[in-house]
Chain A
Amino acid sequence: MAAPGAPRPNSNTNNHPSQPPPPNYNPNSNPNSIAYNLSNLNLNPPPSMPNSGSTPSLLGQPPNFPSSAPLPGVPSVSPPFSRPGPPPGVLPRPAVPPSGPPQSTLPPNLAPFRPTGTPIGQPAPFGYRAPPGSIPLLTGSNVPPSSGAPPPGAFPSSGLPSGPVVSAPPPPGTRPSTPSPPLTTGPLLPHSSASSVFVSNGPPSFTSGALPGGPRFPPASSASKPPVGPPPTMGFAGATPETPTMHSLVGSPAIAAPPPGTPLQPAPPFSAPPQGVPPPPGSYGSPTWPRHPGQVAPPPPIPGSVQPPRMFGMTPQPLPNQSMTAIPVLGQTGAPVSGTSKVDLNQIPHPIPSSSPMLYETLQGNQANPPPPATSDYIVRDTGNCSPRYMRCTISQIPCTADLLTASGMQLALLVQPLALPHPSEEPIQVVDFGESGPVRCSRCKGYINPFMKFIDQGRQFICNLCGYTDETPRDYRCNLGPDGRRRDADERPELCRGTVEFVATKEYMVRGPMPPVYFFLIDVSMNAVQTGATAAACSAISQVISDLPEGPQTMVGIATFDSTIHFYCLKRALRQPSMLVIPDVQDVYTPLQTDVVVQLSEGRQHLEVLLETIPTMFKKNGTPAESSFGAAVQAAFLAIKSSGGKVLVFQSVLPSIGLGSLSAREAEGRTNISARQKEAHKLLQPADKTLKTMAMEFAEYQVCVDVFITTQTYVDIASISVVPRTTGGQVYYYYPFSAVSDSAKLYNDLRWNVTRPQGFEAVMRVRCSQGIQVQEYHGNFCKRTPTDVDLPGIDCDKTIMVTLKHDDKLQDGSECAFQCALLYTTVYGQRRIRLTTLSLPCTSMLSNLFRSADLDTQFACFLKEAAHKIPSSPLLQVREQVTNLCISILLSYRKFCATVTSSGQLILPEALKLLPLYTLALMKSTGLQSDGRIDDRSIWINYVSYLSTPLAIPLVYPRMVAIHNHGPKDKDESLVPPVIPLSSDHVNDDGIYLLENGEDCLVYIGNSVDSNILQQLFGISSPNEIPTQFVLQQYDNPLSQKLNDVVNEIRRQRCSYLRFKLCKKGDPSGALFFSYLVEDKSPSGPSYVEFLVHVHREIQMKMSSS
């Protein structure tokens, strides 16, 4: 158990005392409580009450475990973290990143999510029911474990525990390998088999994704799960619902863990599983064990094993398996029946961040290893399957039939991010050059050679793993097979032993020479843009970014400005000064000679710099029309670089009101016409007409990628404008309301990241699947002209494409189903490459396997993307209903077919998906699904989601919140980012300062009674009343400020995004904004978390009874 406990790791747990809950899995709720839960749930929302009181305190103190535990672990890991590119942060950057801290940070993230708040807050309510008796245990145990967490760090230690755990795993049988692993990492190892598990331990720590963390664990070491049981926290809760104190998670960072620790651990069942953190081992172990067996194996990692769902109140314990995996149920614990009322909030599943990176092998024992949560921190070793960063599937096992899939209620889809940033400690992708003949391919389906192609007949032939066709091996590619049936040279050839490789493309793959990198900047200089400083900000950003453009003789640049006309600039060196070429016709656009306006960077640099300095004043001085011709300008820029293709970066400030593709202020019209508005509200989210779409298709055809930076103070009809970047593989950046003071730095950093991030041009992507499965549709930012391929004039590391799949035949149980994504692209250095990503997953015909191997992060990302996709075309109510129904139907399916037990009072959640309700709720409360938001805000949200990567999907709807008022010096090992706090107002105190970020925006909430000293140190103001509306984060010479900056920089690094800051205070619209992000609260936009669970449970009950 102990081992298991580890997983939970604590880190999470530690971090947040409260976190423990995450561990979720373990259910430690009190049996009783659970039972009642349901009922209670309904009844009481209040739970919080009790907590509340406690809560605060918690924050303050308690949570020892969490923090402490995790941290340790983390540190070790963390180092790896620092990401190369991302750190956009200007000034900031340097900041800590490198150091261990980062890690810590990560963890924090994790932490934040889940655990923190919740657990504590709501003491009683849910316990995970898991361990029956355990409540006490749980609490105690959990904590301890968590505290134990440290163990995680110390793998070794865990090792032992793990052992146990391991054993558990065995059950699952799936991974034999596991054992060994354990050793290595200790806790992790155990999981090894369930790699994920380990990960979990680790992961929790690392991944910021923390959220998932919880879940992950489970997978990893199923066994472990139990231990940690995450629930520890829960446990607490459960145990003592009341014990807020215990929970005091918050405070916890400190040490809390220990105390509870030990004993409780057992409880951990929930959480534990995942992380089977060693520490707890002992304690946990035992308790958990029972279940573990089941769990262990099953968890994600093991395909075979069955997973038990988690129940709300009760755990499904019955089945060993299930129990193991399963998890967390929400229980309404507490309340035993009486209903009194409370739902033990501590037992509600929350994400648990992991604290340290875990090691993940993609293929273990020839079996696909379920991936760690996308949001966690992990280091991948590519052992045959591709890294989950590049491609991950919603379910790590493929249902054999369409019926099975339908029954599960889940969807089958891939999230492909072909150029994703690797972890710095991962091996770089190897480049293979086949010479003139090009890569070996299946002659029937054109699939590329990959590790899953089977060589037969002494290597003379190979069987395609995609279409099953038997091909002759090209003569010079032959090699004998070893006794194991593999080619003897398999390990030396990356294409035969790696899930991801790059091939050098031959002439056959080019219709022309690889294009040079061409950057064309377009700046709005209409009156508004000039007056608001947007023009100046854009010019200054470009000017700074020029030096970051790829060096080389091939790099070409061009620049143009536009208002009611378009102004190109001739940058030829022959001229003594740049000359402006005005294109007055914005209806029927044309351009100067390309050679005049697009020049080699080296040739044009001087003129360009001068020009960028002059532009803002030039237009200010001469006056400039109020109108802006976006469409025409983009078209003109396109014409200017049509022959080569390239990137167009547009800085737009107002609604394009003139010329080609001009738009009208539809929003205002919609407002005046109320009846139409309600009926047709979603139409405003659709492009106004087809002009821009048609243009964009043409751009894509000529490999022109458009990015739009919108720096505005008014409605600009993003729904229409965004069509261009979406179709051309670009993206929209939105600064609203734009402030030259506070947004300039972000603009620069966004631009810089835009041009420096790993990226490719003139790309074509296709995903091939094994027979039986076929691609249904692609979603993302690209242009589709043929049914099979997507054209990406530009593709970069941030862009993700969702590929939905469908069955066209039955699959063989036990066989493997492969997915291969081939991306043909040109690097910024002008090399033509094929990036090949192959993922092979086992097929299953058991529903329980599906649930166990469900990948919550990926599923949710799909969920999110599909919802976003539907918003513009269907009424909002319908979309919201669909979202809820999807969640309910999955849970219903699980309840119906997998959960063995069941008291009607329990809400049973599959371990892997236990956070689904929470995320679903958060999604419903997100900007895109709110009817009262600004149209542009919703459009930008939809647009952002369309290319959002999996690790960022969850933070978008369920942001990370941390307290920044009280972190003093910490141990080196600690994670940089403070523990995560659940998104509930119960955790927000008046004397605190909180930072909440979703990957794009960052809100800093300042309570009304914050110590003015702190304010002075952090922001240079003495009272909350002085909060400036335009905030620029500055570094002052004091540790607190420095720490804040470090934290912020770490977050920026993790998100690859320079956050947009806003200071919020109570009683101000900004405060309302902040609170609108606290999704667990009841708000006008939706029920509280508890209420939602109750609602879900009811629905399920109704459906159960009706069926």
Chain B
Amino acid sequence: MDFIELEAIEGLRWSWNSWPASKPECSALIVPLSVMCTPLMQSSELPILTYDPLLCSQCGAVLNPYARVDYTSRIWYCPFCYAKNPFPRSYSGIGETNLPAELFPTYSTVEYAPGRKIPSPRANPGGPSLNSKHNWANGLSSTSLASMASFSSSSLSSLGGDLRGLGPAFVFVVDACTAEEELRALKNELLLVVEQLPENALVGLITFDSMVRVHDLGFSECLRVVLLHGDRELSSEQTQQFLGVTHIKQQYLGKAPVIQKQGFLLPVSECEFNITTTIEEIHSSVQAMLGHRPQRCTGTAILAALGLLEGCLINTGSRIMVFTSGPATRGPGIVVDTDFRNAIRNHRDLVNGHAPYYSKSSSFYQRVSQRLSDASIVLDVFALSLDQVGAAELKGPVESSGGFMMLGESFESSQFRKCVRHIFNRDEEGNLKMYFDATIEIVTTKDVKICGALGPCVSLQRKNNLVSKNEVGEGGTYMWKLGTLTSKTCFAFFFQVSDEQKVQPGSAFSIQFITRYRYGNMGIRKRVTTAARRWVGSHSPEIAAGFDQEAAASVMARLAINRAEKCQARDVIRWLDDGLVSFASKFGDYVQEDPSSFRLSSNFSLYPQFMYYLRRSQFIDVFNSTPDETAFFRLMLNREGVVGSLIMIQPTLLEYSFDGPPIPVLLDVRSISPDVILLFDSYFHVVIHYGSKIAQWKKLGYDKDPNHENLRKLLEAPELDAEQLVAGRIPAPKIIKCDQHGSQARFLLAKLNPSVTHNSTYTNGSDIIFTDDLSLQVFIDHLQGLAVQS
């Protein structure tokens, strides 16, 4: 079975496709039982059902192909809890030859997109209050749901449009300490965004320097701005009170709530002129104080945006988009003080405790995360700066809300423009391609316990008997919240086998992922993926056969970076090594105490290599990265699917030569050769490396010579491929073109396996890398040695 094919259907990659039936055996697998799930994976065959899903009255699972159906009595048996459920009247025509789509065996994934009509209260509960989420399963009274729905709709109507008409809300948080030219580029981009937003989208604008300015877009006489102090950490209530967007907490039935008109968040259709003017009037407030950084209160600005959105009760999904050009220097979330004599913290400072603000700011952002998640708000950060901006501190809320982070150098760069435009892409119907306010619920057969998830999500702390006490990552729940997600966002879910249950090897178990989200047009959709696998007996060869080393590597990578957040790199590496050694000794084929006899079967063979590159990747080894970069890399890894993750862990290297079509070559220094072009892709960087001869030819302009057509083609090929690689990724990788021995070649050399170093005896004319790092060969040798020890 090809894992990748399966993934295309299910959107899932399982580290183990066959699970041992007993708990001790599972622990012995080293690589945990886990699933890499891409909930909204794009698929051409996805059936879209225009009605509401049928839920099991007991466990809340959605009707699926694994359910046993009794057509005569019109009853279906839930495959998870075995409860008996009747079909409603609308399914009256059901029969073996007339199956609803969700029962088609091939449709393991279906999407429910109830009609465009206003969703009935029963179907709409998610909007305002996820809190009541699983109630629909447990029969929460529909009145309470109805009241909540009406609550949210009435408060929304305060914004001046009817519920349906409102689009998502965007609050732009702009750093006014940006230099004038930079700011101009940013303003142009924002104007473009505003111009292209759907009419019903809500917009808000906040600028900040040493203070926070919340712009009133509904005031016509002049530009009106509410100024908030940059140093104060305002509570949600205070912010709302200051902005005058307080909503009345108690509502009495039948009484029109008193709505205060506010102008901070308005539909584009109402305020296009004002917001355009306001954006144009943003001026750089850089105060050139010698030896000081500008005063920025990024944290307070984010709080203000948050308070505003909370006050307006936007539950249809909203984004706070922060555009900053430097570190926060005051207020909550401060990164560094304004004095240039105090450098921004680096990894060593963090380790030594020399970063005075770090833990305080991190815990501040932790609180922000919580609030973001409660209100289904996404935080995006665009940091365009030559220095760090505090992304390490900001990572928490960005990651947990599923937001977007970009670290770049200039607002004038195309990279930035591309990112922004990508985010605001629209589909054929003109809807933004954004999925907001999502939740993922997992239902499993009762022998499978849910441990947790790693990825851009937040545990909702919903517990039932399927939730394991053993937590991994965001655990303790069967349901997670995602501020937003894309079709590529991938989560790692962890499971374990229940202790008591005696399962019959050979029997099947299933796991159902129910992803509820708000589509670009604000309608609610649910995607349901149901997958089944088998229990196998101990020592069954099926276990090994079901091992997906790529999935396993990416799962281990997520575990490693999760661990790295809390411990030092050295400990993480040791943990990885220990795991690898145990793993190798369990699954290797060898004679005790004879390293040379060590062999791994093909579907295990790459795993040690992945681990080798993971160990020395920027995710674990932070040397040479700033905390900001590290945070960014980890954040990206934590949401990338298996394929992307692997590129990050072990970059790909293609060789272009006159000898034939491009071929993948070893990620090794010996792949460098004067007469080839190498295309290196580490996900974040794409390097086109010209061998010294090629470089020289290029320099001499031979490629422009019609007589050397093939040289031109050779030069073109990697560039075209690079373009393609870049196109699908956001943020776009940086493309670096370099010549052999050029300074930029360092991006490549740093990632290559240093099989030839200055210490090597024989170089065979190959390039060498000046490093004391151990090479893959040495690593494997050691591994073999250790693995065969008894």
Q: Is the CB of A582 within 8 A of B223?
A: no
Of A99-107, A239-247, A584-592, A642-650, the one contacting chain B is A584-592
- Contact (A580, B222) CB under 8 Å given A593-B210, A593-B285: yes
Indicate with 1 or 0, residue by residue over B527-559, a CB within 8 angstroms of chain A CB atoms.
000000000000000000000000000000000
Of residues 551 through 597 on chain A, the ones whose CB sits less than 8 Å from some CB of chain B are: 565, 567-569, 574-585, 588, 590, 592-593
Contact of A618 among B222, B229, B285 (CB under 8 A): B222
Residue of B nearest to A569 (CB): B222
Contact of B226 among A575, A577, A584 (CB under 8 A): A584
Q: Is the CB of B285 within 8 A of A581?
A: no
Q: Does A614 make an interface contact (CB < 8 A)?
A: yes
- Contact (A611, B283) CB under 8 Å given A582-B227, A584-B243, A590-B229: no
- Contact (A582, B224) CB under 8 Å given A593-B210, A593-B285: yes
Q: Is the CB of A580 within 8 A of B242?
A: no
Q: Is the CB of A575 within 8 A of B223?
A: yes
CB distance from A872 to the nearest CB of B (A): 36
Q: Is the CB of B242 within 8 A of A585?
A: yes
Q: Is the CB of A579 within 8 A of B228?
A: no
CB distance from A537 to the nearest CB of B (A): 19
Of residues 195 through 234 on chain B, the ones whose CB sits less than 8 Å from some CB of chain A are: 210-211, 213, 216, 219, 221-229, 232
Q: Is the CB of A579 within 8 A of B224?
A: yes
Indicate with 1 or 0, residue by residue over A868-885, a CB within 8 angstroms of chain B CB atoms.
000000000000000000
Q: Does B659 make an interface contact (CB < 8 A)?
A: no
CB distance from B689 to the nearest CB of A (A): 49
> By the criterion of a CB under 8 Å from any partner CB, how many residues of chain B are at the interface?
24
Complex Cα distance, B226 from A575, in Å, reads: 17
Q: Is the CB of B227 within 8 A of A592?
A: yes
Indicate with 1 or 0, residue by residue over A594-624, a CB within 8 angstroms of chain B CB atoms.
0000000000000000010010011001100
Residue of A nearest to B263 (CB): A622
> Which A residues lie within 8 Å of B213 (CB)?
581
Interface size of A as a range:
20 to 34
- Contact (A611, B222) CB under 8 Å given A584-B243, A592-B211, A593-B285: yes
> Which B residues lie within 8 Å of A577 (CB)?
222-223
Contact of B227 among A583, A617, A622 (CB under 8 A): A583
Q: Is the interface of B mostly helix, strand, loop or mixed?
A: mixed
Contact of B242 among A567, A584, A614 (CB under 8 A): A584
> Which A residues lie within 8 Å of B211 (CB)?
590, 592-593
Q: Is the CB of B222 within 8 A of A582?
A: no
> Which A residues lie within 8 Å of B238 (CB)?
585
Q: Does B281 make an interface contact (CB < 8 A)?
A: yes
CB distance from A363 to the nearest CB of B (A): 57
Q: Is the CB of B281 within 8 A of A581?
A: no
Q: Does B241 make an interface contact (CB < 8 A)?
A: yes
Residue of A nearest to B281 (CB): A575
In this complex, the member of A565, A579, A582 whose beta carbon has the largest number of chain B beta carbons within 10 angstroms is: A582
Complex Cα distance, B216 from A618, in Å, reads: 14
Complex Cα distance, B283 from A853, in Å, reads: 69
Contact of B228 among A569, A584, A611, A622 (CB under 8 A): A584
CB distance from B763 to the nearest CB of A (A): 62
Tally the A-B contacts, defined by beta carbons under 8 Å: 67
Contact of A582 among B226, B283, B287 (CB under 8 A): B226
Complex Cα distance, B221 from A590, in Å, reads: 24
- Contact (A580, B228) CB under 8 Å given A592-B211, A593-B285: no
Residue of B nearest to A618 (CB): B221
CB distance from A1023 to the nearest CB of B (A): 46
CB distance from A324 to the nearest CB of B (A): 72
In this complex, the member of B210, B222, B225, B229 whose beta carbon has the largest number of chain A beta carbons within 10 angstroms is: B222
Complex Cα distance, B219 from A246, in Å, reads: 74
In this complex, the member of A580, A584, A614 whose beta carbon has the largest number of chain B beta carbons within 10 angstroms is: A584
> Which A residues lie within 8 Å of B221 (CB)?
614, 617-618, 621-622
In this complex, the member of A569, A579, A617 whose beta carbon has the largest number of chain B beta carbons within 10 angstroms is: A579
> Which A residues lie within 8 Å of B285 (CB)?
593
Of residues 273 through 288 on chain B, the ones whose CB sits less than 8 Å from some CB of chain A are: 281, 283, 285, 287
> Which B residues lie within 8 Å of A583 (CB)?
226-227
- Contact (A581, B225) CB under 8 Å given A593-B210, A593-B285: yes
- Contact (A579, B227) CB under 8 Å given A592-B211, A593-B285: no
Residue of B nearest to A623 (CB): B261
CB distance from A1106 to the nearest CB of B (A): 69
CB distance from B376 to the nearest CB of A (A): 26
> Which A residues lie within 8 Å of B232 (CB)?
585, 588
> Which A residues lie within 8 Å of B242 (CB)?
565, 584-585
Residue of A nearest to B211 (CB): A592
In this complex, the member of B213, B221, B228, B244 whose beta carbon has the largest number of chain A beta carbons within 10 angstroms is: B221
> Which A residues lie within 8 Å of B223 (CB)?
575, 577-580
Complex Cα distance, B287 from A582, in Å, reads: 22
Complex Cα distance, B218 from A580, in Å, reads: 13
Q: Is the CB of A585 within 8 A of B222?
A: no
> Which B residues lie within 8 Å of A569 (CB)?
222
Complex Cα distance, B228 from A569, in Å, reads: 15
> Which A residues lie within 8 Å of B281 (CB)?
575-576, 579
> Which A residues lie within 8 Å of B224 (CB)?
567, 579-580, 582
Contact of B225 among A574, A582, A590 (CB under 8 A): A582
> Which A residues lie within 8 Å of B228 (CB)?
584-585
Complex Cα distance, B224 from A578, in Å, reads: 9
Q: Is the CB of A581 within 8 A of B222?
A: no
> Which B residues lie within 8 Å of A611 (CB)?
222
> Which B residues lie within 8 Å of A576 (CB)?
281
- Contact (A584, B222) CB under 8 Å given A574-B283, A593-B285: no
CB distance from B311 to the nearest CB of A (A): 12
Complex Cα distance, B211 from A592, in Å, reads: 7
CB distance from A639 to the nearest CB of B (A): 11
Residue of A nearest to B280 (CB): A576
Q: Is the CB of B225 within 8 A of A585?
A: no
Residue of A nearest to B239 (CB): A584
Complex Cα distance, B228 from A622, in Å, reads: 21
Q: Is the CB of A579 within 8 A of B225?
A: yes
Complex Cα distance, B229 from A588, in Å, reads: 10
CB distance from A606 to the nearest CB of B (A): 14
Complex Cα distance, B211 from A578, in Å, reads: 18
> Which A residues lie within 8 Å of B219 (CB)?
580, 622
Contact of A581 among B227, B229, B244, B287 (CB under 8 A): B227
CB distance from B149 to the nearest CB of A (A): 31
> Which B residues lie within 8 Å of A584 (CB)?
226-228, 241-244
Indicate with 1 or 0, residue by residue over A476-512, a CB within 8 angstroms of chain B CB atoms.
0000000000000000000000000000000000000
Of residues 1009 through 1050 on chain A, the ones whose CB sits less than 8 Å from some CB of chain B are: none
Q: Is the CB of A585 within 8 A of B229?
A: yes
> Which B residues lie within 8 Å of A580 (CB)?
219, 222-225
Residue of A nearest to B229 (CB): A590
What are 14 sample pairs from A and B whose C-beta atoms fall under 8 A apart? A569-B222, A578-B223, A579-B223, A580-B219, A580-B224, A581-B226, A584-B228, A584-B241, A584-B242, A592-B211, A593-B210, A614-B222, A617-B221, A618-B222
Smallest CB-CB A-B distances: 5 pairs: A584-B242, A579-B223, A582-B226, A580-B224, A618-B221
A contact set with B: CB distance below 8 Å = 565, 567-569, 574-585, 588, 590, 592-593, 611, 614, 617-618, 621-622
B contact set with A: CB distance below 8 Å = 210-211, 213, 216, 219, 221-229, 232, 238, 241-244, 281, 283, 285, 287
Q: Given contacts A578-B222, A584-B241, list 10 more A-B pairs with CB under 8 A.
A: A568-B227, A582-B224, A582-B225, A582-B226, A584-B226, A585-B228, A585-B238, A585-B242, A611-B222, A614-B221
